[in-house]
Amino acid sequence: MSAALVVGLLVAGGVFLLLRRGLLRIVLGFVLLGHAVNVLLVSAGGMQRRGAPLLGETEADVAADPLPQAFVLTAVVITFGITVYMLALARAGDPGATTGHPPARSDAPSLADGSDRDDADRDDATADRGRRTDASEGGAS
Amino acid sequence: MTGGLLVLPVAGPLLLSGLLALVHHLRPHTTRLDRVVGPAAAGGVLVFAGFLLAATSDGSVPVLQLGGWQPGIAIVFAADTFSAVMLAVTSLLVLVSLPFAAALGEDEDAAFVPLVLVLMAGVSGAVLTADLFNLFVFIEVMLVPSYLLFAAGGGAERLAAARLYVSISLMASTVLLAGVGLVYGAAGTVNLGELAGAGESSPAVGFAAAVVLLALSVKSAVVPLHGWLPQTYSRTGPAVAVLFSGLLTKVGVYAVIRLYSVVYGGTPRYLWVIMAVALLTMVIGVLGAVGEHAMRPVLTFHMVSQIGYVFVGLALSTAAGLSATVFFLVQYVLVKTALLMCAAVVEHRYGTGELDRLGGLARREPLLAGTFAVAALTLAGIPPLSGFVAKLGVASAAASAGQHLAVALVVGVSLLTLLSMVKLWNGVFWEPPAEDAEGEGTEGPAVDGGAPAVTSALGSRVRPLVLAPPVFLAAAAVVLGLWAEPLLSVSAAAGAGLADPSGWVAAVTGR
């Protein structure tokens, strides 16, 4: 029950942050989502048995399931690496230059002004034209 | 073939990648070694896949229980004909893509070849593993180098696309991991052999595996989860897009097919979902392609559309349907790579893929134009090329299963494919360069006086060496069309193994 509540809260927070503008918030959202999934994995092994899963130390019926813990360990490492890479991506280049809008808003920190508007539907004619203009400007400069 | 060797296509490239990185660290600025080691590793995996194909042709399944643990505890590697076919196709693709990237000068970065080798190790592992969590890990092993390759070289547009690509992939990976956790919670195992049929018999496992399938559908870019693909693949480096198109989404497709045929035992209960998704993917993908005006966006939308064809065979879940799927997948990977290579050559030499700014290349570049024409007609499914055999297989499997809507759409989408291929052909190769049409002002601000038709800037033509990989792949399309029998029999074996996975399951579980 408590695990389910924790997972629900973390997912809610993560999804909320994912839907915000700015890559930094999206990264934080992914961190929360990653934690949610880790709790989910641990609870998949059962929350009742908490003993250390060591032969000769703990009886088999009270020992925790070690496999989900190994899963979580692997997942934590992967999530950590990708989080760092995403932070680097958020920092790389001038984010404002890619959006088809005026360059970075001066009132906002540049790190948080990530790819928020890049996802604009490219099928949309205006967005497409804006992108093209942008590309040709980039080529000229 | 003993199962112990199954670790080679994963360990070999990983090891070579590490060694190459070490060499680069000790002696910077040497790419000559990379240009030998990279293709050699891919060739090695290709040869291995050939042996594997021979070894699995009689239906036997080599198995490796890693670490010598008992079946059921060990992490399992297993290979049937489908795995061997996928291994062969992906390694062949890396083999031709590396020299292509070198010819375009995209492998200048010291990390390029080592990263591609890690990518290849991930792909090989994903098609060989028989463990759901291991599948997740290998997909990550494959994705992490792809993130780096995607953004390498920088440029504002490429970085923006990389942000989108990484975000979408990470989202899908998170859902995939959650699905694996749910499967473990519901079934108590993530061994695919132990999970055989569990999706059908237990609703909880069925739901949990559906979460995994959902995540894999994002990776394989089926409608309605396809939006990221045309947005990203058309904005990264051309040679990188070539490499990704044949490897990344195909692993997603492979995993969906494997998972559905094993975990759900091909149960007809959910097939209508897959059929609906497949048909939607075919239609929406091709409509998207018709609406685009540059080479790579058109081609990437066709990737979406063709994945729909692949899924039609899966949705039939008959032996005929699944073998049609395998045949389609193989020939489609080859021909799509050829097309993307043509687009990459045009973009590299003439600086743009926009149809408005290109034209008349057929006279300047006859070899390129011929290659593109053959590959485009293959994609549209014109006989006697391999695309025709593949689509005929899908359509006849659908017809014998009574899915007449699917048959009609297979034919109709082929016509639309042909239409947009003709548009590309006209825009890039046939019509006179766009300067004749200038001044009409209908094309928006990009094509005004500041951006003249690029072909007016005459210079040297594309070197024949650059064209060798796409010519080879287009020739393969012709050969597979005229002499389809060997691949047809291989894909029939793979399809039979998927329609009745009991041999694979028995080998994996050791029972």
A81-134 residue pLDDT tens: 999 999 988 887 655 444 444 444 444 333 434 444 444 333 344 444 444 444
- Kindly state whether B291 is in contact with chain A, defined as any CB-CB distance less than 8 angstroms: yes
**In this predicted structure, what is the pLDDT of residue A83?**
92
Q: What is the spatial distance between Cα B356 and Cα B434, in angstroms, rounded to a whole number?
A: 6
> Strand B76-78 relative to strand B63-65: parallel, antiparallel, unpaired?
antiparallel
**In this predicted structure, what is the pLDDT of residue A115?**
41
- Kindly state whether A80 is in contact with chain B, defined as any CB-CB distance less than 8 angstroms: no
- CB-nearest partner of B140 from A26, A45, A78: A78
Angle between the N-to-C axes of helices B156-187 and A125-140, in degrees from 0 to 180, rounded to the nearest 10: 130
**What size, in residues, is chain A?**
141
Substitution target in A7, A20, A83, A98 with the highest count of B β-carbons within 10 Å is A98
The residue in chain A having the minimum alpha-carbon distance to the alpha carbon of residue B74 is A67
Mean pLDDT, chain A, whole residue set: 73
**Position B186 in a domain:** yes
Q: Is the pLDDT of residue B212 over 60?
A: yes
Using an 8 Å CB-CB cutoff, list chain A residues near B163: 23, 86, 89-90, 114-115, 118
| DSSP 8-state symbol, B62 | -
Q: Is the pLDDT of residue B96 over 90?
A: yes
| Per-residue exposure over B463-483, b if at least 16 CB sit within 10 Å of its own CB, e if not | eeebbbbbbbbbebbbebbee
Question: Residue B445 and residue A41: Cβ atoms within 8 Å?
Answer: no
What is the per-residue pLDDT across B407-420, written as a single tens digit (0 to 9) for each? Answer: 999 999 999 999 98
| Ramachandran sector of residue B155 (left: φ over 0; alpha: ψ -120 to 50; beta: rest) | left
- Kindly state whether A82 is in contact with chain B, defined as any CB-CB distance less than 8 angstroms: yes
Using an 8 Å CB-CB cutoff, list chain A residues near B230: 122
Q: Calculate mean pLDDT across residues B238-243.
A: 89
Interacting residues of A109 by C-beta distance below 8 A, sequence separation 6+: none
Q: Which two tokens stand for residue B452?
A: 């003249």
Which DSSP string do the residues of B455-501 spell out, in sequence order?
Answer: GGS------HHHHHHHHHHHHHHHHHHHT-HHHHHHHHHHHHHHHST
Interacting residues of B27 by C-beta distance below 8 A, sequence separation 6+: none
pTM of the full structure: 0.87
Cα–Cα–Cα angle for B234, B236, B237, rounded to 5 degrees? 110
The residue in chain B having the minimum alpha-carbon distance to the alpha carbon of residue A89 is B163
**Position B413 in a domain:** yes
**Position B465 in a domain:** yes
ipTM of the prediction: 0.84
- CB-nearest partner of B178 from A37, A86, A121: A37
Contact between B308 and B280 (Cβ < 8 Å): yes
Q: Calculate mean pLDDT across residues B368-387.
A: 90
CB pairs under 8 A between A and B: 116
- Kindly state whether A54 is in contact with chain B, defined as any CB-CB distance less than 8 angstroms: no
Q: How confident is the model at residue A26 (pLDDT cuts 50, 70, 90)?
A: very high
User: Position A54: which residue type?
Assistant: L
Q: Is the pLDDT of residue B456 over 70?
A: no
- Kindly state whether A40 is in contact with chain B, defined as any CB-CB distance less than 8 angstroms: yes
Q: Is the pLDDT of residue B273 over 80?
A: yes
Q: How far is A5 from chain B (nearest CA, A)?
A: 15
Q: Nearest-CA neighbor of B508 among B60, B64, B6, B10?
A: B64
User: Residue B321 belongs to what domain range?
Assistant: 3-437+461-509
- Kindly state whether B444 is in contact with chain A, defined as any CB-CB distance less than 8 angstroms: yes
Percent above pLDDT 70 for chain B: 94
- CB-nearest partner of A33 from B147, B174, B181: B174
Q: What is the spatial distance between Cα B264 and Cα B195, in angstroms, rounded to a whole number?
A: 9
Q: How far is A83 from chain B (nearest CA, A)?
A: 9
The residue in chain B having the minimum alpha-carbon distance to the alpha carbon of residue A68 is B181
User: Residue A134 belongs to what domain range?
Assistant: 2-140
Q: Nearest-CA neighbor of B82 among B62, B56, B48, B64?
A: B56
B30 vs B355, higher pLDDT: B355
Q: Is the pLDDT of residue B444 over 60?
A: no
Q: How confident is the model at residue B158 (pLDDT cuts 50, 70, 90)?
A: confident
User: Position B504: which residue type?
Assistant: W
- Cβ neighbours around A59 below 10 Å, total: 8
Q: What is the spatial distance between Cα B173 and Cα B27, in angstroms, rounded to a whole number?
A: 36
**Position B455 in a domain:** no
**In this predicted structure, what is the pLDDT of residue B231?**
86
**Position B166 in a domain:** yes
Question: Residue A92 and residue B230: Cβ atoms within 8 Å?
Answer: no
The residue in chain A having the minimum alpha-carbon distance to the alpha carbon of residue B73 is A67
Q: Which two tokens stand for residue B110?
A: 């010291």
Q: How far is B148 from chain A (nearest CA, A)?
A: 9
Q: How many distinct structural domains can be found in chain A?
A: 1
Q: What is the spatial distance between Cα B494 and Cα B175, in angstroms, rounded to a whole number?
A: 29
Helix, strand, coil proportions of chain B in percent (round to 5)?
75, 0, 20
**Position B64 in a domain:** yes
Q: How many distinct structural domains can be found in chain B?
A: 1
**In this predicted structure, what is the pLDDT of residue B69?**
83
